Structure 1
Amino acid sequence: MIFNFHIIYRQYIRQLAKQWGLGAIAYKLYYAPKSFLEKISRQGSINIAIDYLSRLQMEAAADKLPTVAVQTSALSLDIYFLSGRKFWYQTCFCAYSMQQHTNLILRPIIYDDSSLDQQYQKKIKRIFPHAEIILLSEVEERLEQYLPQSKFPYLRERRLNYPNLKKLTDIHIGSQGWKLVLDSDMLFFHPPDLLIEWLKSPQQPCHMVDVETSYGYSQSLMSSLAQAEIPERLNVGICGLKSENIDWEKLEYWCKKMIEQQGTHYYQEQALIAMLMSSQPCTVAPATDYVVLPNQAEVIQPKVVLHHYVSESKSWYFRYGWKHIISSM
């Protein structure tokens, strides 16, 4: 197969420009070439091209997922996502794969990450007619009421410039009850009994286990702020929290001190949640069944309950992972 790298490069750059919302001139002159060349150096141009085309194939396949038939009177269990233009199809595959492995009705509640345009809302609702979509306008009203800029400047700034934090702020602010928030880049291959039982009767926070401790901040700083021992290897691809138990003033203080002392970091959301969970018992999805960073062999022939496709495993996700969901329909 011969790849037109010039076309793929232009499409890749155009997509990144939209995602990052950067000025066209600055992006073309610096950020886009730098980012793309670094990625080529890590992965190689042929692998980038294969992954790109595989991702397009996955997105097209999401448009053909069958509609989930739901009785309106049936009891449902809610699962929560933050999603948008870049992730809508991954969200659908994750929720669909989980639904495949339970007789209970799972209702996706999907929060707009600011890019969930109407066309993507329609795609989601075609697959999940019972899904609830929370638009950005509704979230912003809650933020103004419960997390005003004047009182929470650090959380509000990080939310705008660090979208991962929206999985915490947007989904939980001004809300009540337990919520299981799932990352979109995950797939289920066997019944997730532990998560189903948690959804039926949540009693304590829930998380999964990372391949290594990835918080971006020192254990000493995190422990001193939280006044507790910080659990190692906590991963928030699966994250169950009770909304009204979140102390937003404490989170604002932590966020401020972390940035003042050690700067900002990509894993700050994971660090903050590890601190929130540090002082209480948790339901932990075992790493033997809920796997972060599955290897190629495992993705080609899944044996575990769930894969969370981070880092290099995204290649296997786009090339092989989602195809199992199609073949098992």
Structure 2
Amino acid sequence: MSFAGRALYHTWHRPKGWLQDLIADGGPWERKRTHRGREAMRQAAHQLKPDQMTKSGLPLTVHFLTGERFWDMSAFCLRSLQQHSERPVQAVVYDDGTLSAATGEFLCALAPGSKIVPLSATQERLESLLPGDRFPVLRDRWLHYPNIRKLTDPHLGVDGWKLVIDSDLLFFRRPTFLLDWTARSDRPLHAVDCQTSYGYSRPLLERVAGRPLAERLNVGLCGLQGETLDWERIEWICRELINAEGTNYYLEQAVVAVLLAGQDCAVAPADDYITLPRPPEVNACQAVMHHYVANSKRWYFQHNWRRVLQSMD
């Protein structure tokens, strides 16, 4: 970037973006309330107890990537899912490299039958199945773009259908759609976004996919079958997108959209599995699930984790 370009970025675009974010967060006082709510949630997460209801049947197994920064969100997500499932809920937790032994033990105790996949075990699979000389783009993204780990870490070298979910979800009703899919997984699953967010131009994406892409695919809920993933193709997709238009925060979502283009998918009902909840729903919590992306985290940290906690009393 030229000197003039850097000057324009730091004197106009960056301050403008900061101000827009502040307004979207409700202003400085609301941002402070959100920060205090997050700290209170982190303290409350230590007090979460396993579901005491006796449950039977095939466990609902979910896969998380988490660490010390997000473990409390993972815990509330897991516990709220337990609260509204008549089947046992278990988690497979992939350590992002920061998860302490004590935190891992806590998450496993919260959902008996859960397990931690250590970073070292994931790295061994990477070295064996995605060697850097053959998969340089994926290995670079794995190091510098944690979102791609939601694709590699659960599925690389492991057969079977897996439901990978984000940590910033809360459940308020019976997750019928997820219970049905995990009982009879026969096609990929994804959630619906508030808008199409793939980070790359539509002509580029459709050239790489070779067909039209679905609109508004969101990977906050993502069910894939490990043995069907072609890692050489995924490496190629990443390389084509990055070479053409650079790296992007939404690369993982774009890759999944390309992989699932033209496929028959199980799509989470958008009115019940809501990405970016807004008033009045974000206050009423009548949907099955909220995915608190972007500035909807304001309601998550200030209010709705407390609602989950109260429902357990």
C-alpha deviation, 1:82, in angstroms: 0.5
Which residue does 1:204 correspond to in 2?
A: 187
CA contact 2:276–2:294 (8 Å) conserved in 1: yes
The CA distance in 1 between the partners of 2:40 and 2:92, in whole Å, is 25
Task: Report how far residue 297 of structure 1 moved.
Answer: 2.8
**Alignment check: 8 A CA contact 1:146 1:173 kept:** yes
Tell me the distance in 1 between the aligned counterparts of 2:56 and 2:307: 31
| RMSD, aligned CA | 2.0
**Alignment match, 2:165:** 182
Q: Distance in 2 between matches of 1:172 and 1:70?
A: 31
Matched with 1:170 is 153
Paired residue total: 296
User: Structure 1 stretch 38-47 or stretch 156-165: which is displaced more?
Assistant: 38-47
Q: Deviations over 1:28-86 (max 9, x none)?
A: xx9xxx89x93774443322221111001111111111123588996423111111111
Question: Given that residues 90 and 112 in structure 2 are in contact (C-alpha distance below 8 angstroms), is that contact kept between their aligned partners in structure 1?
Answer: no
Are positions 1:253 and 2:233 aligned together?
no
Residue 273 of structure 1 aligns with an amino acid whose one-letter code is: V
* 1:76 partnered with 2:66: no
Are the equivalent residues in 1 in contact too, given 2:50–2:79 (CA < 8 A)?
no
Which residue pairs with 1:104 in the alignment? 87
Please name the residue that 1:310 is paired with: 293
**2:224 alignment partner in structure 1:** 241
SS at match of 2:47: coil
Cα distance, 1:94 vs. partner? Answer: 0.8
Instruction: Name the aligned partner's letter for residue 159 of structure 2.
Output: Q
Counterpart for residue 26 of structure 1: none
Q: Secondary structure at the match of 1:79?
A: strand
SS in structure 1 at match of 2:93: strand
Give the whole-Å Cα distance in 1 for the aligned partners of 2:53 and 2:99.
24
Q: Which amino acid aligns with 1:251?
A: I
Amino acid of the structure 1 residue aligned with 2:289: L
CA distance in 2, matches of 1:204, 1:41: 41
Partner of 1:265: 248
Q: Which moved more, 1:89-98 or 1:114-123?
A: 114-123
Once the two structures are TM-superposed, the CA of residue 246 in structure 1 deviates from its matched residue by: 0.6
Letter aligned with residue 163 of structure 1: P
Distance 2:136 2:308 in 1: 42
Instruction: Say if 1:299 and 1:320, in contact at 8 Å, map to a contact too.
Output: no
Q: Secondary structure at the match of 1:238?
A: strand
Equivalent of 2:18, from 38, 47, 67? 38
Residue 52 of structure 1 corresponds to which residue in structure 2?
35
Identity %: 42
What is the CA–CA distance in structure 2 between the aligned matches of 1:185 and 1:301, rounded to whole Å? Answer: 18
Counterpart of 2:108 in structure 1 is 125
AA partner of residue 38 (structure 1): W
What SS does the corresponding residue of 1:111 show, helix, strand or coil?
strand
SS in structure 2 opposite 1:78?
Answer: strand
CA, structure 1 residues 70+110, in 2 after alignment: closer, same or farther (shift >3 Å)?
farther
Q: Secondary structure at the match of 2:221?
A: strand
Tell me which residue corresponds to 1:62: 45
C-alpha spacing 1:109/1:211, structure 2 compared with 1 (3 Å): same
- 2: CA distance, partners of 1:120 / 1:251: 32
The range that moved more, 239-248 or 289-298, is 289-298
Query: Normalization by structure 1: what TM-score?
Result: 0.86
- Which secondary structure does the structure 2 equivalent of 1:179 belong to? strand
Structure 2 unaligned spans of 5+: 1-9
Question: Which whole-Å CA distance do the structure 2 matches of 1:207 and 1:243 have between them?
Answer: 15
SS at match of 1:312: helix
User: Deviations along 1:152-206, whole A, 9 cap, x unmatched?
Assistant: 0000101111100000011111110000001000011111101100000100000
Equivalent residue for 1:218? 201
Structure 1 residues 233 and 72: CA distance shift in structure 2, 3 A: closer
- 2:232 counterpart letter in structure 1: E
Relative to the length of structure 2, the TM-score reads 0.90
Q: Secondary structure at the residue paired with 1:190? A: coil
Match of 2:135 among 152, 160, 180: 152
Paired residue for 2:98?
Answer: 115
Please say if residues 34 and 301 of structure 2, whose CA atoms lie closer than 8 Å, have aligned partners that are also in contact: yes
Assess if the C-alpha contact under 8 Å between 2:82 and 2:88 holds in 1. yes
Q: State which of 260, 275, 282 in structure 2 corresponds to 1:292.
A: 275
Name the CA distance, whole Å, in 1 between partners of 2:48 and 2:297: 21
8 Å CA contact retained: 1:296, 1:316: no
**Whole-angstrom distance in 2 between the partners of 1:258 and 1:126:** 41
Gaps of 5+ in 1: 1-29
